Amino acid sequence: MRVILFNNETERFQERLKQYAFDYESNYQRLKERIKDYEGLIAFGLDQTIDLSNIKWIQSLGAGVDWAVNNPSLKENTVITRVTKGLEQELFEYTLTRILYYYQNVDYHLKNQQK
């Protein structure tokens, strides 16, 4: 099964998932052109204009799957998996970390420490 992972930060995923033969795409327009060549999709969410008719498996990177379930091109037998309830604490911690990172201006402080 050929799988493509769509995310704006593909470099981060490529390092973590290098043992898997995934393809990666960060440009939405290119994804729309390439998706017909894949049977698997890993993504956070996509709009309804993308053609998912060839996709047999979708892994949602978020808890919600409405973006996939409501896509008119999705076939009835497509398997959809998502982040499960057991990850609520991790999602909360990630969100809190990103908020604190932003409000405490961590980028600025990291750059100053490197000087």
Tell me, yes or no, if the pTM score tops 0.85: no
Residue predicted with more confidence, 66 or 11: 66
Average pLDDT over every residue of 25-39:
93
Which one-letter DSSP state was computed for residue 81? E
For the chain, what is the mean pLDDT? 86
What are the domain boundaries of the chain?
3-83, 85-115
User: Residue 79: its pLDDT value, please?
Assistant: 94
CB 45 within 8 A of CB 70: no
Architecture of domain 3-83: 3-Layer(aba) Sandwich (3.40)
Stretch 66-90: mean pLDDT, rounded?
85
Q: What is the structure's pLDDT at 41?
A: 94
SS3 for 50? coil
Q: CA 25, CA 48: separation in Å to the nearest integer?
A: 18
Instruction: Give the separation between CA 115 and CA 111, rounded to whole angstroms.
Output: 7
Q: Which residue has the higher pLDDT, 39 or 20?
A: 39
